[in-house]
Every structure is written in structure tokens, then in C-alpha cells.
Amino acid sequence: MKGHRQETVAEPLQQEVRAVFDPESVRADFPALAQTVHGRPLAYLDNAASSQTPQAVLDAMEHFYTRDRSNVHRGVHALSQRATLAYEAARETLAQYLGAASEREIVFVRGATEAINLVAWSFAAPRLAPGDEVLITHLEHHANIVPWQLVCEATGARLRVVPINDAGEVGLAEYERLLGPRTRIAAFAHISNALGTVLPVRKMTELARQRGVPTLVDGAQAVPHGPVDLRDLGCDFYVFSGHKMFGPTGIGVLWGRLNRLQGMRPYQGGGDMIASVSFEGTRFREPPHRFEAGTPAIAEAIGLGAAVEYLKGLDAEAVERYEAALLTTATEAVTALPGVRLVGSARERVGVLSFVMDGVHPHDIATILDQHGVAIRAGHHCAQPVMERFGVPATARASFAFYNTPGEVDALVAGLRQTVEIFA
């Protein structure tokens, strides 16, 4: 009928989700979300790559730079003392948020990538011999593949890979079969960055523990979507990056069981990680400091602590339900478009919508969407083996956070409709 307004795809979700969690209640906390791009309101749907930062984090970092800027652990003057207190308070905040037994189990690193490399060289390499095995899955980010390849090349160990099915899920039977007598460590994602698949990490860590195999979990995609209980998870190491959980870039966390960290040699040498130095030898400090050589990312650690405090102020259960509803709505709307196919259809999926469009390269999709103010990611997402498994060179990936709205799903779908028309 002339003049009839077509209902938008996200409209039925509006009242339902606001009864659970209202994203408008937090959007004002994120300054970057208020901008326009190419004359359109920004719809930031690239959260799996890097999330936006709340004002509380920016304020905490500005306070350090304008009031407390000084080095930590070294000075007796007031600024150094305040900086040290703020830096170590951030460590305590992370420990409490993750359910760590002690703040001594929290090592500040540059990100998940450095954390995995640290474990690979300081923990795994000394324990590997020719014929030993490192077990990972086909879902891994390059950061959880390449370090293990390098360590295997250096030690003569063998890299084993747990396959995935057509839905993008890890099979527990295959994983258990590959946990052999020569497996020295198993390393796997908590959530796939390319597909959003949630791995059965509790069962995987339990099966490894029954065989005496240490485990590392890459939690970079999990921590933005809710608290992680390390006591319940059962792994030996857990890693993540600050910039994906609404914190600064250049900072991340390696959590390790204290007995594991105490048995590891330093990854790097330098100032602050030593107890004493002479030309005859060096004694190292206890964890976590032995793994934090040199001047750390002080402002960034403080900012990450502020990000965690911000997340603690949200209703985690409501956020989880809201994000699930948003992802379901987006998935249904996008895959209803002609020629669009979902890549990865795991039964348990969080935060990520990865798809391809017949006859259109993902980079072209992302370029057209950018003109609509919609920011998505296009490429192999540092997960080329996943792309090869599904027979595609790349995917378009929309990824969601609690500040995304049903209206932004509408903007995504409108841009995709235009893409279909352009390439029809």
C-alpha cells in the first residue's frame, strides 16, 4: 500500500531487548560511538578486532599522565609511590575479576599474543623433546598457531591439530583421541575469533588434566562478553588482550597457576625482574615480576583495571541475554538476504556473524558498508586455516558488543541490501 512503512528487521526486538538491557543506557559512556562516518551515524560492528573505550578508562589514564606519571617499583618519591599503588591495584582488580587465587598469578604483557609466546618459550620449550606433541585446534587464531610452530621447530616436537566439523565445532572425541602419551601441552581458544564458536573448554581442560597435560586457553574473545571464573574453568594458563575488552591497546594479561609460573624461567631479561645481578650470575624475582622486564605499560595497566571496574558495574547476565538476542536477530536478517551464506553455524556461538555473499568479495562488502557508516571486518581474520576449511579466501564479519543496538543491525542490513543491488 502506498505510504506503508516497511517494518525494519530489528524492530520486533526493540521492546524485548530493552526489557533485558538497554544499550542506550551505556552508549554515552563511549565517546567514539557519537561520531558520524561519511555523513552517517557510526555503527561500530568490529568489536572482535578491537572494542571501543569508555570515558572511565580514558579518565584513569589521563589522571596517571597528568598527576602520577612516574616509574613503578623504583622510586621513593610521592609520584612513584602513587603510580606503583595504582599499577598494583589494577593487578588486584584483574585477579579478583578472574577468580585468581592470588594477584601474583596476574602477569601484565602487551596482549594475548605475547602471553602465548611467553608460555610457549618459558614453559613449554624446556619440556619438549623430539617426538613430543603440542595439541591445538583448527579454530585457532594465528597467535595460537605460529608460536607453537616455532617452538616445535626448535625442539623437534610435533604440532597436532584437532579438526572441526562443518558447523565450525571442535569434536570432543577427536580431541580426546589426540591427547596422547606424548602430548606436553594443549592450547585452544575459549571462543573463535573468526566464527564465534564457543569451545567446550571445561570438558577439554578436564580431559587434559586426567592425563596430566597442562592447558592454555586463549580468552581474547571471551572476556569482553562476561566474567571468566578460572577456578571453574580448570586450565593452567589463560590469556587475553585489553583492547578487546574495552581497555587500552598495548596491554594484556597472562594468568598462570602460581606453581606453574614459579617453575618457569624469564621470557626476557632486564630491569625490575631481578632480585640481584652480578657478573657471576643473576637471581630473579618471584612471579609475576620476573616476567615483566623493563618499564611496563603503566598507564595501560591502570586503564585495563578501570575497564574491568566498568564491566563490574554492568548486569552481566542481562548483557549476555541481550547480546545473544542481538546476534540471533542479526543472523536471521543477514542470512535472509539473497546470496548470503553464514560461515560457521555452531550450536553455541557468541558475538560474531561471519558470512559470504555470492559473487562479491568481502572487501567490497566492507567498503560499501563503510559508506553507510557501518564498520565491519573483512579478510581471513588471522585464521587462514579456518578459511581453508570452509573453502573461502575470506569472510565479512560483523561482531557485537553490549553497546550495539537493533538500529545498527538495520543499518547493516540496509548496506547489505545495497551491496546485493550493486552486484546483481
The residues that are catalytic are 382
Amino acid at 24: E
Q: Is 177 exposed, middle or buried (0-12, 13-18, 19+ CB in 10 A)?
A: exposed
Residue 374's nearest CA partner among 319, 424, 329, 330 is 330
Cα–Cα dist 323/404, whole Å? 9
The answer to whether the beta carbons of residues 395 and 382 sit under 8 Å apart is no
Burial class of residue 222 in the structure, from the number of CB atoms within 10 Å of its CB (0-12 exposed, 13-18 middle, 19+ buried):
buried
What is the C-alpha separation between 44 and 369, in angstroms, rounded? 11
Q: Is residue 211 a contact partner of residue 179, using CB atoms and an 8 Å limit? A: yes
Q: Is 347 exposed, middle or buried (0-12, 13-18, 19+ CB in 10 A)?
A: exposed
Contact 291, 107 (CB under 8 A): yes
Whole-Å CA distances, 272 to 75, 275, 286, 294: 12, 8, 11, 6
Closest Cα partner for 307 from 93, 113, 146? 93
Pairing of strands 40-41, 36-37: antiparallel
The torsion defined by the Cα of 313, 318, 324 and 328, in degrees rounded to 10, comes to -130
Give dist(CA 51, CA 94) in Å, integer: 18
Q: Which residue has the cell 578486532?
A: 49
Strand, helix or coil for residue 242: helix
Q: Are 215 and 185 in contact (CB under 8 A)?
A: yes
The alpha carbon of residue 320 and the mean position of all alpha carbons in its chain are separated, in whole angstroms, by 16
Helix (H, G, I), strand (E, B) or coil at 186: strand
Record the cell numbers describing residue 8, joined without a space: 525494519
